[in-house]
Structure 1
Amino acid sequence: MIKKIIPSAEFAIIGGSGTLSSNFPANTTDEDVHILADNLIFDTPYGQSSELRLFSVAAKKILTCKMHGWRSGVSRADASRQLFWIFREAGVKRIISEGGVGTINKLLDTRDFLIPDDYLDLSVRKDVGLEGKYLLVMRDALCPQIRKALIETTKKFFKGRIFTRGTYANTDGRHFESPAEIAMLNGRADIVGQSICPEVYLAREIGACYAGLYYVVNYGEGIRKSWSHDELEDIFYDDAPMIGNIILNTIRSLPDKRSCECLSLRKETLLKGIYDET
């Protein structure tokens, strides 16, 4: 059923392949996690949204969705616009994204975590925004305050390897990359995926902090060895509860006040009269 009133929420979690199999966060047994509303669908200027869930953890309200709002029949650009328009209307100020990624850096193995501090946009979805009335400065695009909390929390709940900085290369998909494409990126990025852009732009446009937790689920073609679809499936199903637990505890640990420069890096456009609202 389409809802007309968008609930308020300070946080958003953009669910990717890491939590997809766990019905996040419904299957957690944590006493401070409460599902407040489910199957929320909204009309937006960019079309009807995917389903969202509203829940709380430690009395903090959070909106979440599955797989970045991507679904059949809707372009990924429109799915992103729908999602971030809703986040803006809900008053979301902090966004955590998660997902499974492939390797570019030959030092990385499957089941390594990486919390990137930069990105490289190789997509063709570069002109994906809302009204476009802001100049977006993409310095420190991945919020340092949320990144710090993600790193500290991941170290508490994960005993494997955690890489605390690196570059995420964004490609369009939906296919995986060719060996030549991975070779071209080697030395320029560490992981590859299909979701950080345009999300990082849209987060800055709505004045929200954004950071991501990424789990290596396959080797980029030609990096080390051919990867197995069965191994990929095992990672998705076995490790989803852990990834959800890390994100929930990161939100618990974040102070109420933002101590970053993210909002100040959104500037008023100099193109007055072009993007003014009517």
Structure 2
Amino acid sequence: MTHNQTIPQTDFAIIGGSSMFSISFPEDLDRKDVTVLETGLTFETPYGTSPEFKLFEVGGKRVITVKMHGWRPNVVTRGVASQQVFWVFQQAGVKKIFAEGGVGSINHLLELRDLVIPNDYIDQSMRKDIGLGGPYLLVMRESICKSQSHLLAEAASERVERRQEKPRRVYTRGVYVNTDGRHFESPAEVQMYRQAYGDVVGQSICPEVYLAREIGACYAGVYMVVNYAEGIIKDWEHKDLSDIFYNESHTIGHILLDAMTHTEAEQTDCSCLSLRKATLLQDIKKI
């Protein structure tokens, strides 16, 4: 494999997750407004060789994308993969990030194929203190960009109305509980998360939300309910999971591209950049 030394410069990035794993994104969407510019891009990072990236253009915007959060078997831990991905984003100058994935429903109101655009998270992972070494205090008051979330909500609602399928509702608020995986959670764990006001459970929003803030980028995601969490409504079935895995990827892909066509590089309509503060610890001198 050839490693590329020059990281392309772009304001925009998309992190692909499990909901688009079964397709080649964005090629398989067969959109006339999309042009793939480069594929198979890998880079040497301080955390090892990066996963493969693609560079494509949609609506006149250059976008860098990576598959499955950069996770891949027998290479690195998920935390290190996140460091590789976001180091590349930092070097590329990325300012706006969209992400996607599949989640389990903790909230009894959520049905399979519903779409959730969370506005907060609870980190139950053990992947702590994963960063890029920047001299910042990261304020997580508004951890997910409101303006980016609004664009995803509009794109998702338009796509759902166009297809007129049920159940597929769009929820513009929700608490995402992040666990380590790769196993699913126990019924007792799910009940604990439910009592903590969690709505969905997944494995990807952390540490991505921290790393996005560290590099000064806006971050928001859209997540499809692919299973009921253990002890919620009924036992999840593998056939349902498989059906969604193979047949819903195009829906998520189009939502991301539709939202991307309407986003702008400027970070003037949100507070994301202002919530990255200079740390005071670097000024402490030894006595």
- Normalising to structure 2: TM-score of the pair? 0.93
Residue 60 (structure 2) pairs with residue 59 (structure 1):
yes
- 1:207-242, CA deviations, whole angstroms, 9 ceiling, x for partnerless residues? 000001000000000001111111111101111011
Deviations 1:178-231 (A, max 9, x none): 001001111321000000000000000000000010000000000011111111
Q: Which runs of 4+ in 1 moved over 6 A?
A: none
Per-residue CA shift, 1:58-112, capped at 9, x if unaligned?
1111111111000112111100000000000000000011000001111111110
- Letter matched to residue 182 of structure 2: R
Instruction: Kindly provide the amino acid, as one letter, of the partner of residue 270 in structure 2.
Output: C
Match of 2:165 in 1: none
State how 1:120-139 maps to structure 2 within 5 Å: 120-139=122-141
Structure-2 residue corresponding to 1:213: 222
What is the alpha-carbon distance in structure 1 between the residues aligned to residue 141 and residue 23 of structure 2? 34
Pair 1:97-2:99 in alignment? yes
Kindly state the Cα deviation for residue 28 of structure 1 after the two structures are TM-superposed.
2.2
Q: In structure 1, what residue type is equivalent to 2:180?
A: D
Following superposition of structure 1 onto structure 2, how do residues 250-265 of structure 1 map, counting pairs within 5 Å? 250-258=259-267, 259-265=269-275
- Out of 77, 85, 92, the position equivalent to 1:75 is 77
Aligned AA (1:120): I
1:174 aligns with 2:182: yes
Distance 1:111 1:78 in 2: 30
Which residue of 238, 254, 258 maps to 2:247?
Answer: 238
- 1:133-172 residue pairs with structure 2 within 5 A? 133-159=135-161, 160-172=168-180
Structure 1 distance, partners of 2:178, 2:104, is: 11
Q: Match for residue 39 of structure 1?
A: 40
SS at match of 1:216: strand
Determine the C-alpha separation between the residues in 1 that align with 2:46 and 2:72.
18
Contact 2:25 2:253 survives alignment (8 Å): yes
Partner residue of 2:30? 29
- Give the percent of matched residue pairs that are identical in Structure 1 and Structure 2: 55
2:153 maps to a residue whose letter is I
SS at match of 1:127: coil
Question: Counterparts of 1:196 and 1:222 in 2: how far apart (Å)?
Answer: 23
Q: Which amino acid aligns with 1:169?
A: V
- Amino acid corresponding to residue 40 of structure 1 in structure 2: L
Deviation of 1:255 after TM superposition, in Å, equals: 3.3
Structure 1 gap ranges (5+):
none
SS in 2 for 1:2: coil
How far residue 257 of structure 1 moved from its aligned partner, in angstroms, is 2.6
Offset from partner CA, 1:46-67 (integer Å, 9 cap, x none): 0011111111101111111111
Q: 1:23 aligns to what SS in structure 2?
A: coil
Could you report, residue by residue, the CA deviation over 1:225-276 in whole angstroms, capped at 9, with x for unpaired residues? 11111111110111101110010000111234321110010001101158xx
> How many residues are matched?
274
| 3-state SS, counterpart of residue 272 of structure 1 | helix
**Structure 2: how far apart are the matches of 1:173 and 1:132?**
27
Taking the aligned partners of 2:128 and 2:98, their CA distance within structure 1 comes to 21
